Structure 1
Amino acid sequence: MTRTGMHMIDTGFSFQGPAEGVHALSSWITPEDDLFLVTHMGFLNIDPDHWHLDVDGLVDTPTRFRLSDLQAMPQREYMSFHECAGSPLAPTVAQRRIGNVVWKGVPLSLVLERAKISTDASYVWTSGLEWGEYAEIEEAYQKDLPIEKALAEEVLLALEINGRPLTPERGGPVRLVVPGWYGTNSVKWVGSITAADRRASGAYTTRFYNDATASGMKPVWSVAPESVIVSPSPNDLLSAAMPTKIWGWAWGDHRISSVEVSVDGGGSWRTASVGPREGRSWQRFELPWTPTSGQNILLCRCTDEFGEEQPLTDARNAVHTVQVEVDP
C-alpha cells in the first residue's frame, strides 16, 4: 500500500557508476559522484514530512517514528565500505561496485529497545516503501537480519552520508545501513520494521540473494574478502624501468590481514603493504614496481584475519585483473 507524499521516479532496474570503474576510486572517502547507485524497481521520492517508520511484530510497544523523532535521538557516525552484491540473477559474476563512506544515524538497537523488542525475536525484518517489478516479481522489498546483527552497534537507521542528508536516490530520508554486509541488506526508503521468530519469506530472502554451498543455500550477508587495483589503470602511460607503485583497496566484513600482487598474470606473487582500517572501512595496499616493456597483467588477492581468501574466478569477489601496456 502506498503512502501520501511518495512517488516513484525512473522506474525499473538501474545502475549508475563512474565510467572508469574502480580506477576512479582514488579517495579514502568516496565522493557521492563516484559511489554506485543500484535500484531493483526504481527510485522513490518521499516527502520527509510524510515519512514514518512503524516498528511492530514481537515487541511490547508497537511504535511509529517520524523523522523528527529520529533526529532527536542519539546519533552515531560509522565509516564503512559499501558494496553491491551484484546481480542475484548472476551471483558468480564480479561487479566490483564499491565505495567507502561515513554514515550517520540512529543505531537500530535504540529503536528496537524503545519498542521493547521481545526476547522471543530471532530476526528483524525491514521493508522498503518502493514498489514495482523486478525479474517478473512484484512485491515489497523486504530483507531480514538475525537478531545478533540487528542489535550490533554499527547497524544504523541512517539519515546522512558523508556529512550530508540522504537524497531520495540514496534511500532518503531514512535507510537501513548494515556495515560489513552486502548492500542488498541495507534497505533503502525504509518504512517498517518487524520483529519475528523466523526468517522473512519474500522473494528477496528466498528466491534472490542466496548462494549455493556444499551445506545448502547460504544468505548473501557477510562480505567476503575482496581487493581491487586502483592504479595503474589500463589507460595510464607507463615507461619501462621507471619506478612506480601498484596500489588499491582491500575490504571485507573481517579485517584484511594480507594482500598479494602479481605482475606476471598470476605466475608469481609479491606481498604488498596493507594499511589499517577504521570501523569497517576498506584498507589501502601498495607495492613498489618497476615495469618491463610490453603487456603486463596485474592481479591482486587478499586474505582476511580468519584465513579466508579471494577465489581466482567464478565468484562475486573473484580476483581483480588489470592489463597495462608499458612503453620501452
Structure 2
Amino acid sequence: MDQRKQCKAPFASGITVTHKGYFLRIADRGVQALTEYVTDDDQLFVVTHMALIEVDPQMWSLRVDGMVTNPISITLDEILALPRLDVHSVHECAGSPLTPKVAKRRVGNVVWNGVRLSDVLDLCGIQPGAAYVWTEGLEWGEFAGIKDEAFVKDLPLHKALAPEVLLAVALNGKPLRAERGGPVRLVVPGWYGTNSVKWVGKITLADRRAPGSYTTRFYNDPTPAGPRPVWDIAPECVIVSPADNSVVSAGEPTNIEGWAWSDAGVTRVEVSVDGGKNWKVAKHAGRRDFSWQHFSLSWIFRVGEHRIFCRCFDARGVGQPVSSARNEIHSITITAISTAATHNAMPS
C-alpha cells in the first residue's frame, strides 16, 4: 500500500489519529526544569504541526526509493536486526515557522538509540547524482492554511550519511512512544528538531531539495546571500540555576549554572552579572557526541535586584545575537537579600 495514500485517511489500517491539528506541550517550569544532564521524557517538549498519531509497529514499514538501484520496503524487525548505537544529543525545537525570530527555548538533552541511516541507504545502492535525502512522516492534516500535504524534510546527502544520523527506535533507553514519533523516527543530531522527522514512512533520494512547504515556505532564514535552511543548531545557552525571579543570599557565593550547545560545539561561555555591561568567562565542560555542555560561574551579589545574562561561542567563532533571534541571549533576574533577612524569611 502507498503509505502516502494510507496516511491521508484518518482511519487507515495501522494508523490512529490521537490528536488533530497543531500540538505543543512543554515543561511547566520551562528551562528551569532542565537541571539534569539527561532530560527525562516527561520534561522534554512535544510538538507537532498537523497531528499526533499512533502507528501499529507490526504494520509499519519504511519505503526507500528515488535515485537508488534497489528500492526497498523495510520492516521494523529488519530495522532492529541492523547494528544499533547510542548517540547523546541536544534536541531543540527551531520555534514556530510563523515567528522564526522569537526564542522559544524548547530544548532538552537525550540519548537516542537506533540504526544508522547510512546502513539502510547502503542496502539500496545510491545512484550517481543523488544529492538530497527526502524524509516523509506518516502524519497528515492542516497547518497554517496548508492542507493535504505530507510533512517532508530533506538533508544533503553528506549529512544523511554522517555516522550520527539515526533511524531511532528508543529514547533514554526505552522504546519510542507514539508521541515521540515511534516506532521509528529520523534523528539528526546537531540539527534543529524540525529535521528529525517523526513517524517516518518514506525516504526518497533525489538530485534536488524537496519542493514541499516545509522546506520552501517554512524553515528558511533570510540572509544577504538568500534564504538559508534551518538546519544546524546555532550557539545557544540558558541559565537553569538560580531560577528566574528567585531569592539568593547577598554576601555569599551563588553558583550560576546552565547548559550551552551548538552543532559545532561550544568553546567559550560568558556570564554577565551586571545586566550585560561586563562579561566574565565561565567554566564549561567538554561535549559528548552532540550533547549540551555544562557551565558555571560563582559570584557574590550585593543586596538588591540583579539581571544575569549568559552567552556562548562555538568552534567556528559564532556567538549569539542580543535579540530578535531563536537563539538570542538568555537572561534571568534574581534578588539578593541579607543572610539575616533570608533566615527570617524561612518558615519555622
TM-score bracket for the superposition, by shorter chain length:
over 0.9
Matched residues in 1 for 2:65 and 2:171: separation? 27
The aligned amino acid for 2:78 is D
Verify the 8 A CA contact 1:59 1:116 in the aligned structure 2.
yes
Verify the 8 A CA contact 2:135 2:203 in the aligned structure 1.
yes
> Match of 2:297, SS?
strand
Asked if residue 220 in structure 1 is aligned to residue 194 in structure 2, the reply is no
Give 2:62's match in structure 1, choosing from 53, 68, 91. 53
- RMSD of aligned residue pairs (Cα, Å): 0.8
Q: Which runs of 4+ in 1 moved over 3 A?
A: none
Asked if residue 296 in structure 1 is aligned to residue 306 in structure 2, the reply is yes
The percent of aligned pairs where both chains have the same amino acid is 54
Output one character per residue of 1:175-217: Cα deviation in whole Å (capped at 9) or x when no partner.
0000000000000000000000000000000000000011110
Deviation at 1:57, TM superposition (A): 0.3
Verify the 8 A CA contact 2:245 2:332 in the aligned structure 1.
no
Give 2:91's match in structure 1, choosing from 68, 82, 87. 82
Output one character per residue of 1:229-263: Cα deviation in whole Å (capped at 9) or x when no partner.
01111253311112121010000001100000001
Deviation at 1:293, TM superposition (A): 1.4
Verify the 8 A CA contact 1:234 1:325 in the aligned structure 2.
no
Asked if residue 267 in structure 1 is aligned to residue 243 in structure 2, the reply is no
Output one character per residue of 1:269-323: Cα deviation in whole Å (capped at 9) or x when no partner.
1100010110000000000111221111000000011100011101000000101
User: Which residue of the partner structure matches residue 158 of structure 1?
Assistant: 168
Matched residues in 2 for 1:235 and 1:319: separation? 17
The aligned amino acid for 2:38 is I
TM-score norm. by structure 2 comes to 0.93
Give 2:26's match in structure 1, choosing from 17, 23, 31. 17
> Match of 1:149, SS?
helix
Verify the 8 A CA contact 1:84 1:182 in the aligned structure 2.
yes
The aligned amino acid for 1:22 is V
Matched residues in 2 for 1:106 and 1:250: separation? 27
Output one character per residue of 1:68-111: Cα deviation in whole Å (capped at 9) or x when no partner.
00011111111000000000000000001111101011100011
The aligned amino acid for 1:86 is G
> Match of 1:69, SS?
helix
Matched residues in 2 for 1:177 and 1:294: separation? 45
Give 1:132's match in structure 2, choosing from 125, 136, 141. 141
The aligned amino acid for 2:286 is P
Unaligned runs of 5+ in 1: none
The aligned amino acid for 1:94 is A
Verify the 8 A CA contact 2:245 2:333 in the aligned structure 1.
no
Deviation at 1:119, TM superposition (A): 2.3
Matched residues in 2 for 1:44 and 1:249: separation? 32
Asked if residue 207 in structure 1 is aligned to residue 210 in structure 2, the reply is no
Verify the 8 A CA contact 2:137 2:200 in the aligned structure 1.
yes
User: Which residue of the partner structure matches residue 342 of structure 2?
Assistant: none
User: Which residue of the partner structure matches residue 131 of structure 2?
Assistant: 122
> Match of 2:313, SS?
strand
> Match of 2:129, SS?
coil
Matched residues in 1 for 2:226 and 2:126: separation? 30
Asked if residue 319 in structure 1 is aligned to residue 329 in structure 2, the reply is yes
Unaligned runs of 5+ in 2: 7-11, 339-348
TM-score norm. by structure 1 comes to 0.99
Give 1:68's match in structure 2, choosing from 63, 77, 80. 77
Output one character per residue of 1:92-137: Cα deviation in whole Å (capped at 9) or x when no partner.
0000111110101110001101011112210000000001000000
Give 1:167's match in structure 2, choosing from 157, 163, 177. 177
Matched residues in 2 for 1:42 and 1:239: separation? 47
Asked if residue 94 in structure 1 is aligned to residue 130 in structure 2, the reply is no
Asked if residue 233 in structure 1 is aligned to residue 246 in structure 2, the reply is no
Matched residues in 1 for 2:252 and 2:246: separation? 13
Q: Mean Cα displacement is larger for which, 9-18 or 120-129? A: 9-18
> Match of 2:215, SS?
helix
Deviation at 1:174, TM superposition (A): 0.2
Matched residues in 2 for 1:46 and 1:34: separation? 23
Output one character per residue of 1:145-183: Cα deviation in whole Å (capped at 9) or x when no partner.
000000000000000000000000000000000000000
Matched residues in 2 for 1:74 and 1:6: separation? 27
User: Which residue of the partner structure matches residue 37 of structure 1?
Assistant: 46
Matched residues in 2 for 1:229 and 1:327: separation? 20
> Match of 1:216, SS?
coil
> Match of 1:70, SS?
helix
> Match of 1:102, SS?
strand
Matched residues in 2 for 1:108 and 1:79: separation? 16
The aligned amino acid for 1:87 is S
